[in-house]
Structure 1
């Protein structure tokens, strides 16, 4: 899978507000599907579908512990998103620096 594919899957996973909410919950604690279902107004099957998309996007990991599945955040899964956004951070730094230089030249 290419870096572009990883980035696409991560953004797809984060596109949904419920999945972003799940990521926020998992940032606080590792949770089972049942525990997540209690915190969202949806069925266990719906939560499971969201977890699958998050897992496919590399944003969470799932560990089988007996009959339970423990879901935890995967901090490295955010790397493709942060890498993509950092390009814009650098872009705007460069643009603002150029604007500052232009303003300083015209004010002399």
Structure 2
């Protein structure tokens, strides 16, 4: 994943669904923004276990306007707090959990 993001300077959208093999959050290599961090506008993560390893990517994506988290387990509070405090905070964050209504937060 890092190799792709380090070599895709024009990448505007990233969707990761049901990625397997990230089993230990402490040992998982963080996914950084690489050169794609300047152009990524939409990040969609779906059904990920230990998806917090995408935190550096989310925080480092300076053009991020939409973040969608669908059924991604774990504690996302710190990551969401950091991006909410950034000057370039996105337009919307969409969070969907099993058995719950879809939550859409518009950033002002």
Q: TM-score range by the shorter chain?
A: under 0.3
Q: Flag the structure with higher strand content.
A: 2
Q: Flag the structure with higher helix content.
A: 1
Task: Using structure 2 for the length normalisation, give the TM-score.
Answer: 0.25
Greater Rg over alpha carbons, structure: 1
Higher RCO (Cα < 8 Å, 6 or more apart): 1
